[in-house]
Amino acid sequence: MTSPLDRIGARKRAAGVAADRLPPGQYIPRGWPVLHYGRVPAFDLATWDFRVFGATAGAEQSWSWPQVEALPRVEVEADFHCVTKFSVLGSTWRGVSPRSFLEAAPPAADVTHVMVWAEYGYSSNLSLADFSAGLFATDRNGEPLTSDHGAPMRLVVPHLYAWKGPKWVRSVEYLTADRRGFWEERGYHNRADPWLEQRYSYQESPGDGPEF
């Protein structure tokens, strides 16, 4: 539990951040808090795979972990904004661009959204444009992700709240129409823009997402 002194310290740290770095309602914590739904899954190199399926232009595809490791790596410096109101600023993320998977397994022409699937059936829906702007991260600040932060691979979408980037990702489903993911079905905002504080579904405007 966060103590009053920790909260005071967080407010002081946030006060020194440029206004264009910290979305409204956010604070800067000590370190990088660990939050997730369910237990941390075990990683089995022999059985792990990553799939792209759904409305593909051709055949569905899958990659083993060694095949994922062989894909080109990119680095992105970006902030991380959690809907629970903490922001971790200035991380250097390293991983695989979603474009690598989009090029290897192209979506059909009428695909508009994706559903990113993770361990235990967790899912998060994104527009194709938002998905393309993300990163399948394997490392942060020069160190491999730990299991509780999503190793071996998690999606990071810096311009959206962090629940849109699942830990322990296992597949991407191409969609020809938007469909709500795990937290979106449970009352979270379909768009999740931290600068607009799009936290909950009751804040949605017409066109922000599919009907429940």
Is 150 domain-assigned? yes
Query: Residue 40: is its pLDDT beyond 60?
Result: yes
Q: What's the total number of domains in the chain?
A: 1
Domain hosting residue 171, numbered range = 23-29+44-177
In a domain, residue 190? The reply is: no
Q: Is residue 10 part of a domain?
A: no
* Assigned domain for 128 exists: yes
| Position 92 in a domain | yes
Cα distance between residue 88 and residue 78, in whole Å: 9
Does residue 168 form part of some domain?
yes
CATH of the domain at 75: 3.90.420.10
**Strand ranges (E), the chain:** 49-54, 61-64, 74-81, 87-96, 113-118, 123-127, 135-140, 143-144, 154-156, 169-175
Question: What tokens does 120 get?
Answer: 């235990």
Residue percentage of the chain with pLDDT more than 70: 91
Give yes or no for a contact between 125 and 180, defined as CB atoms under 8 angstroms apart. yes
**What is the pLDDT confidence band of residue 12, given thresholds at 50, 70 and 90?**
very low
Per-residue pLDDT of 121-166, as tens digits, reads 999 999 999 999 999 999 999 999 999 999 999 999 999 999 999 9
pLDDT of residue 17: 60
How far is residue 32 from each of residues 29, 116, 117, 121, 140, measured CA to CA in Å? 7, 23, 23, 25, 11
